[in-house]
Amino acid sequence: MEEKLVSVIIPAYNAAQFLSRSVESARKQTWKNIEILVTDDGSADRTAEIARELEKKDARVRLVTKENGGVSSARNCGLAHASGEYVTFLDADDALAEDMIRELCGVLEKSGADFAGCQFGDREELGEGSGAVTVLTGPEIVRGAILQSDTRVWSKIFRREKLSGEQFSEDLTIGEDMLFLLSIVRPDTRYALLDRKDYYYYVNPQGAMERGFCPSYFDQITCWQQAEARIREKMPDLYKEQGVRARLASIRAVSICLVAGKLSKLPPEERKGYADRISSMQEELRELLGVPGMKEFLPKGYGVKTALLVRSAKLYFAAAGKRK
């Protein structure tokens, strides 16, 4: 199989602790025709210095520096500098199995899909899986992948021509991956999913989903509001399906509860500053609970959580604040 050029885009912000591991996993790919674009997003540590050292070791590594703008801005910068026929994204604290790119390029070529993806796991799980390939098209991608938590851009390889100039939303800190995927999915888009864990995902305790509350955490709600609007606009027939609307409602309801859970950790006086937002969250949740069938999709325990939050935010915060 001809080795077409693959651009590996690594957005990096204060990633000195992990960057060498990430880049080395790309350098050691059995698919050799790659360029590794490290986009330093205004780091204050040795990220850029480490990237320059790696540049000297391997001509395929290239450092791109920019002012701090967030991971979406860094990925967009990487896309602007990419010259590969294929594009893949690698987070600076993660790593690739040595044959991930070869495996996914093979899946792309054999299936004719627009993008391909694999499963992820910890280091000991790499290589596990049946090796089966499932091809989803258009509405099936939304129904069977995005609405089933496959909302990531890492662990995937895209045909660059199919990205159609789309960019990551730079005004969101949560959910930007999912919205990017929705932006490139059209009725005839094909996604090939390989049942094999070829991507090592590191759970960073400082990641956006692991931190205490900050105002940008409301993006957890906003991103799914935008997702529903895009699905309704781009795929109206899909949106008419009761199961799709119910699933979307359940995801949005869980997102509201997650944000409320973060708010519960704030001191009561500080939480008062978000009174209007909390009230709008309750009203939105009340509407979502009225969507037929949505409660069937709620994870265990969320039936009680959603009912409590709608009834009384004060009681919800008191209960959630007691949990570690």
- Which of 153, 169, 200 terminates a domain? The answer is 200
In this structure, the answer to whether residues 185 and 249 fall within a common structural domain is: no
In this predicted structure, what is the pLDDT of residue 165? 85
In terms of residue numbers, what domain contains 271? 215-322
d(CA 44, CA 59): 25
Q: What is the dihedral of CA 129, 32, 58, 45, to 10 degrees?
A: -30
In this structure, the answer to whether residues 224 and 280 fall within a common structural domain is: yes
In this predicted structure, what is the pLDDT of residue 213? 86
How would you class 243 by CB atoms within 10 Å of its CB: exposed for 0-12, middle for 13-18, buried for 19 or more?
middle
38 beta partners? 10, 63
Contact predicate 87/164, CB 8 Å: no
Tell me the CATH number at 33: 3.90.550.10
- Which of 134, 168, 200 terminates a domain? The answer is 200
In this structure, the answer to whether residues 196 and 223 fall within a common structural domain is: no
Token pair of 269 as six digits:
């006086």
pLDDT tens string for the chain (324 positions)? 799 999 999 999 999 999 999 999 999 999 999 999 999 999 999 999 999 999 999 999 999 999 999 999 999 999 999 999 999 999 999 999 999 999 999 999 999 999 999 999 999 999 999 999 999 999 999 999 999 999 999 999 999 999 978 999 999 999 999 999 999 999 999 999 999 999 999 987 665 555 678 899 999 999 999 999 999 999 999 999 999 999 999 999 999 999 999 999 999 999 999 999 999 999 999 999 999 999 999 999 999 999 999 999 999 999 987 664
Show the CA angle centred on residue 151, arms to residues 242 and 146, nearest 5°.
25
Q: Is residue 28 part of a domain?
A: yes
In this predicted structure, what is the pLDDT of residue 205? 66
Handedness of CA 161, 165, 168, 169 (dihedral sign): negative
In this structure, the answer to whether residues 188 and 223 fall within a common structural domain is: no
Token pair of 72 as six digits:
């979406």
In this structure, the answer to whether residues 193 and 254 fall within a common structural domain is: no
In this structure, the answer to whether residues 228 and 318 fall within a common structural domain is: yes
- Which of 200, 229, 244 terminates a domain? The answer is 200
Contact predicate 78/9, CB 8 Å: yes
Show the CA angle centred on residue 288, arms to residues 286 and 290, nearest 5°.
80
In this predicted structure, what is the pLDDT of residue 210? 54
User: pTM for the whole thing?
Assistant: 0.94
In this structure, the answer to whether residues 177 and 222 fall within a common structural domain is: no
In this structure, the answer to whether residues 261 and 312 fall within a common structural domain is: yes
In this predicted structure, what is the pLDDT of residue 68? 97
Contact predicate 296/243, CB 8 Å: no
d(CA 164, CA 238): 22
In this predicted structure, what is the pLDDT of residue 1? 77
In this structure, the answer to whether residues 194 and 224 fall within a common structural domain is: no
In this predicted structure, what is the pLDDT of residue 212? 74
In this structure, the answer to whether residues 23 and 59 fall within a common structural domain is: yes
Domain count, the chain: 2
| Biggest alpha carbon–alpha carbon distance for the chain | 63
Q: Is residue 205 part of a domain?
A: no
Q: Is residue 209 part of a domain?
A: no
